[in-house]
Amino acid sequence: MAANGMKRFLVRARAAKRRVLAKASPIVRPLWDFAKEPVLAVLFALAATTAIARPYYVPTGSMEPTIAIGDEVLASKFAYGYSRYSVPFAIAPSSSTRLLQRMPARGDVIVFQLPRDPGQAYVKRVIGLPGDRVQMRDGRVWLNGQELALKPAGTGPDEMENGAMIPAGRYIETLPGGRTHPIYKLTWNGPLDNTAVFVVPPGHLFMMGDNRDNSLDSCVAQSDGGVGYVPMENLIGRADVVLGSVDFLNARSLLAWPAEFRVARVLKRVQ
């Protein structure tokens, strides 16, 4: 679908070019010949980042161990259809439904606009779909009255935003249907390890970070400075792959950036 849309866009662009040149004066034609390549390149880039995919830099560790601080993830824009947040500067009209809408699956990692501040983009994992009941009990996720299976998987380095590393318990969590993903857990009696039952409203999603004790997500209401329930309209795309990884924020200097590049994370799938 995205390829067909891009083909139609190029056909319209060529037709528009012919119409402009047919009416162009001797002064306009040389100007167009000079500017056409950069103009078309910009239009192509806008169309591609709107309809196909767009990269996003991740500055926090809320999705560790799946996504590291400094990862550049590529979000597939066509995965769930399109909303006003698929368009640059959100200039399209607001709507409760998406064009070519498809519901995410539990376990998808999604880039979305923060509901209380659409100027910020967050990345989290879908835990609850519309109508689901989500609760934390003693640090474990309960979904629709069933506790999600959790299997120990050793320890891993949990990077803090100041660059410090602390050891964290690594576990494999299993969602309904058998889909698995890793999480980090530091404690089992934190402020969000026991919550009320969250009932996900229609047209919304319940999102959580894989770094459970270092993530601001749907467990915290928007009114308290959290994420709350995420409307379908706010989805940007599914995070599918890590393009590259450099922890710019914690690098000692500009000269240290090349040494901070993590070759092992290049083209790593986000699961």
Q: What is the pLDDT of residues 66-90, one digit of tens each?
A: 999 999 999 999 999 999 988 777 7
Looking at the fold, whether 179 and 91 belong to one and the same domain comes out as yes
Looking at the fold, whether 19 and 86 belong to one and the same domain comes out as no
Whole-number Å distance between alpha carbons of 57 and 149: 31
Please say if the pLDDT value at position 237 is more than 70.
Answer: yes
Dump the DSSP string for 70-139.
TEEEEEETTBTBB-GGGSGGG-SPP-SS-BT--PPPTT-EEEEEETTEEEEEEEEEEEE-TT-EEEEETT
The pTM is what? 0.80
Average pLDDT, the chain: 85
Looking at the fold, whether 154 and 188 belong to one and the same domain comes out as yes
If one counts the domains in the chain, the total is 2
Q: Which of 62, 76, 215, 245 is catalytic?
A: 62
Annotated catalytic residue 124: yes
pLDDT given at position 195: 97
Looking at the fold, whether 183 and 262 belong to one and the same domain comes out as yes
pLDDT given at position 49: 52
Q: What is the pLDDT of residues 178-202, one digit of tens each?
A: 999 999 999 999 999 999 999 999 9
Looking at the fold, whether 31 and 91 belong to one and the same domain comes out as no
Looking at the fold, whether 85 and 18 belong to one and the same domain comes out as no
List the CATH number of the domain containing 204: 2.10.109.10
- Give helix 2-23 / helix 28-51 axis angle, nearest 10°: 170
Q: What is the pLDDT of residues 139-184, one digit of tens each?
A: 999 999 999 999 999 999 888 766 778 899 999 999 999 999 999 9
* Residue 41 banded pLDDT, cuts 50, 70, 90: very low
Looking at the fold, whether 13 and 103 belong to one and the same domain comes out as no
Looking at the fold, whether 234 and 118 belong to one and the same domain comes out as yes
Q: Which of 76, 83, 86, 124 is catalytic?
A: 124
Phi, psi of 20 (to 5 degrees): -65, -45
What is the residue range of 137's domain?
A: 54-269
Looking at the fold, whether 14 and 99 belong to one and the same domain comes out as no
